[in-house]
Each structure stands twice: as structure tokens, then as C-alpha cells.
């Protein structure tokens, strides 16, 4: 029997029992790609083989019965083959019968192609082929409306699905349909044939070539732009690296101008103040004072110079804004046990001034260069910490 793929197949079989059929055993076997049990009945139980027939096969009637027909659902091409039914009768020889099943497969959707040059007075071959189909499909080409046309041998080969068109003309342009068919079903595909003149063929070829060249040129231009941008960025980075200078640390130089000394890298290291110029009309008084030398350290030992005198240290953290030392200066001890002496500068006579003269300014102080830092500390001098200063001018 024959059945189309996917449909249900019924394999019919029956026998004439001579005794109690409940004691008989029935077995169906498949002989295709090897021997496989399909289904069986024995002692009131139905058994199934563990294979591709499981859950797709069953007895057509309730067992036990003299009708031994079975059904197979959702048939596949692999179900094609020989099926054998064996009946074992108690107290009698076994009987058997067989049936052949053929599962047909409709053609798969065909693929239409064209070879050759579709120009006037040229030749082309239209091909049509299905990948699957049982039995082998047959192919027929036709031309669709408005100028319908049917082709025969030798132009058309129904077995191989080819159609050869020779000495083409403009009227042969149109839609060509190929239909693949067998006893299980059919399917079709189509292709459009446009017969062109030689001049049109040259224009189309030139346009195609121009499009390809333009696309390649665009890709190359994009690659050039990207590389140029990358090279420009690298050059800018290299220029920045070449222009940059590493910070240098330069030793402080002493200055006699009385101004603050700042290093080239902008870090405030020390402050040195030279004595203020004296007024020739004022007396010269000498106080013990020992200025600290300029160094690269950011720690500065600053001391109160004298009462009422403006200092370059005013405004810095820790500076005594009152203008007076935080401790009274001690007089240096004497070596002979006498009272301590205070060094003073020679007295200078001050010329008399009129009543309208300006008030006198307190005498300036002179600095004793022989006084050390440790001596000033014992005398009660206070050290002031001044933070360092960054290049931008902020304190750090």
C-alpha cells in the first residue's frame, strides 16, 4: 500500500480462529533497515517496541480479536518497508502474513536559476531542481501571461528540469514558471527573463563597474581619514611631551633688597628681610637680634624685630599681630658676675626741631650678627611655621 508522508497508514490483517482466541499471541514486526518489533499482544497485554514506532502505532480494534490490523500515525519516509504479522495459536502451528508500505514524499520547493547572456540573438538555459521528492519529480516550464507559451522537447528536459532558449528576441522577455510534481504533490518557482540589446548591456556593465569602484574609493577614503586623525592626535601628544619641562629645584639666593625670595618653581622656601634704612636724624639703638639664613626648608624661624616696626612676616600664620614679642627678652649674662649689659649704639645728637615738627619715630634696632639661633631661643624668641606655597600661589 502507498501513503503520503504525514498521513496515517492502516495495515490490515485477520485470520479465522479455531479455538479460544484469548490464548493466541500476535506479533507485528518491521523489516526495513533491520528487523524491529512494532507491536505485540500476549496474555491480555499489549506491548510496544522501544523505537521510532513508539506512540505512533496501535491495534485498530480491541484485542483479543480475529482482526489483527494496526495503524501508524504521522508516517515518515523511513517507515517504508515490509511488515510481517505472526500469529501463534495454542496447540497449532503458527501462521504469518506480510504487507509492504510505501511512504511517498511530495517535491520540496524547487529553485530556479538561469545561465547564459540574455541579450538579443544570445542563448540562455533555465534550470529547475527540487532537493527532495519520492518518487522523483518531473519538471515542466511554461511562460506566464500575457504571452503564455508551453515548451516541449528538445527545448525542455522534464527529467532534469532544464529549458534552453536560443536566438533570443525582445518578445521572449517575461516570467517563466517551473512546476515540479510527482504522485505525492507538486510545487513551483519562477524567474524573470529580460532580453536586452548590446548597448544596454554595455551601459549596465559600466554602471555596475562604476558602483564597485565608487564603493572601493569610499572605503579607502574612510580609512585615510581615520589614519590621518590618529596621526594628528599622536603628533599633538608628542608636541605636548616635547614642550613640557620637568620642574627644577634651584637653591635660594640671598638678596639685599629686603624683598621676599621665591624659587623658580613657585614654592615659598624662606623669607629674609634686610635692615631698614635709618633716619639720620634719629638715634641709633642696638638690640640683640640674629636673623636666620635663607635655606631651602619651608620652615622659617622668624623673630619680632622691634616695637612698632612693620615686618614682611605680617599676615602669615602664627605671626604676632600685636607687634610685641610673646616673651620678654632676657639680658645676656656677664662673665665676671656683674649685672648684664645691653649693647647700645653710640648716641647721636638730635638737632632741635620746631614746634610744628613731626613727632619723633622710635629709634631703629640694629642686628647683632654674632647672636646664634639657640641663644635667641633661650632668650624667649618664638619660631613661626610658614606653610609651603604651590606654583599656582595656593598654600599646601
Cβ atoms 59, 41 nearer than 8 A: yes
**What pLDDT was estimated at residue 181?**
96
pLDDT attached to residue 389? 56
Instruction: Report which listed range, 35-44, 326-335, 353-362, is most confident.
Output: 35-44
What's the average model confidence in pLDDT over 109-114? 96
Polymer length of the chain? 396
What is the predicted pLDDT for the residue at 319?
46
Neighbours of 253 (CB within 10 A): 8
CB of 114 within 8 A of CB of 126? yes
Residue 162: band (very low, low, confident or very high) from pLDDT cuts 50, 70, 90? very high
**364 pLDDT exceeds 70?**
no
Contact 68, 60 (CB under 8 A): no
Least confident span in 98-102, 119-123, 195-199, 332-336? 332-336
Q: Among positive and negative, which fits the CA dihedral 199, 200, 205, 206? A: positive
For position 235, what pLDDT does the model report? 74
Domains 2-104 and 111-193 equal at CATH topology level: yes
Per-domain residue ranges for the chain? Answer: 2-104, 111-193
Selection from 311-320, 362-371, 379-388 with the highest mean pLDDT: 379-388
Neighbours of 26 (CB within 10 A): 22
Decide if 126 contacts 109 (C-beta within 8 A).
no
* Of the listed ranges 173-177, 337-341, 376-380, 384-388, the one predicted with least confidence: 337-341
* Assigned fold of 111-193: Immunoglobulin-like (2.60.40)
> What proportions of the chain, in percent to the nearest 5, are helix, strand and coil?
15, 25, 60
Over residues 134-156, the pLDDT tens digits come to: 999 999 999 988 878 888 888 99
C-alpha cell of residue 145:
501571461
Asked if pLDDT for residue 205 goes beyond 80, the answer is no
Query: Which homologous superfamily is 2-104 in?
Result: Immunoglobulins (2.60.40.10)
Grid coordinates 517504508 are at which residue? 80
Lowest mean pLDDT among 162-166, 379-383, 392-396: 392-396
**Which residues make Cβ contacts (< 8 Å) with residue 58, sequence separation at least 6?**
39, 70, 71
Q: What is the pLDDT of residue 190?
A: 95
Amino acid at each position: 500500500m502507498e501513503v503520503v508522508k504525514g498521513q496515517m497508514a492502516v495495515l490490515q490483517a485477520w485470520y479465522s480462529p479455531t479455538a479460544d482466541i484469548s490464548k493466541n499471541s500476535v506479533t507485528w514486526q518491521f523489516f526495513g533497515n533491520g528487523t524491529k518489533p512494532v507491536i505485540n499482544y500476549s496474555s491480555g497485554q499489549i506491548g510496544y517496541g522501544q523505537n521510532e514506532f513508539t506512540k505512533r502505532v496501535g491495534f485498530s480494534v480491541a484485542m483479543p480479536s480475529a482482526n489483527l490490523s494496526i495503524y501508524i500515525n504521522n508516517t515518515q519516509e523511513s517507515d517504508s518497508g515490509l511488515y510481517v504479522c505472526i500469529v501463534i495459536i495454542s496447540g497449532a502451528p503458527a501462521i504469518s502474513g506480510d504487507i509492504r508500505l510505501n511512504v511517498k514524499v511530495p517535491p520540496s520547493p524547487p529553485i530556479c536559476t538561469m545561465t547564459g547572456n540574455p541579450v538579443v540573438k544570445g542563448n540562455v538555459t533555465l534550470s529547475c531542481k527540487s532537493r527532495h521528492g519520492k518518487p522523483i519529480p518531473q519538471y515542466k516550464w511554461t511562460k506566464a501571461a500575457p504571452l503564455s507559451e508551453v515548451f516541449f522537447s528538445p527545448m525542455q528536459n522534464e527529467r532534469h528540469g532544464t529549458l534552453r532558449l536560443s536566438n533570443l528576441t525582445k518578445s521572449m522577455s517575461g516570467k517563466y514558471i517551473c512546476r515540479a510534481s510527482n504522485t505525492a504533490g507538486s510545487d513551483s518557482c519562477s524567474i524573470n527573463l529580460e532580453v536586452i540589446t548590446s548597448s544596454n548591456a554595455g551601459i549596465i556593465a559600466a554602471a555596475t563597474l562604476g558602483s564597485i569602484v565608487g564603493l572601493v574609493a569610499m572605503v579607502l577614503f574612510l580609512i585615510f581619514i581615520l589614519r590621518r586623525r590618529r596621526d594628528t592626535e599622536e603628533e599633538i601628544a608628542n608636541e605636548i611631551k616635547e614642550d613640557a619641562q620637568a620642574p627644577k629645584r634651584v637653591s635660594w639666593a640671598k638678596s639685599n633688597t629686603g624683598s621676599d625670595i621665591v624659587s623658580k618653581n613657585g614654592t615659598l622656601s624662606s623669607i629674609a628681610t634686610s635692615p631698614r634704612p635709618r633716619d639720620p636724624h634719629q638715634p641709633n639703638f642696638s638690640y640683640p637680634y640674629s636673623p636666620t639664613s635663607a635655606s631651602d626648608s619651608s620652615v622659617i624661624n622668624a623673630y619680632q624685630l622691634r616695637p612698632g616696626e612693620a615686618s614682611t612676616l605680617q599676615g602669615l600664620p602664627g605671626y604676632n599681630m600685636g607687634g610685641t614679642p610673646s616673651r620678654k627678652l632676657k639680658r645676656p649674662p656677664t662673665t665676671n658676675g656683674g649685672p648684664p649689659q645691653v649693647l647700645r649704639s653710640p648716641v647721636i645728637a638730635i638737632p632741635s626741631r620746631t614746634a610744628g615738627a613731626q613727632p619723633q619715630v622710635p629709634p631703629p634696632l640694629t642686628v647683632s650678627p654674632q647672636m646664634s639661633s639657640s641663644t635667641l631661643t633661650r632668650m624667649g624668641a618664638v619660631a613661626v611655621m610658614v606653610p609651603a606655597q604651590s606654583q599656582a600661589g595656593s598654600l599646601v
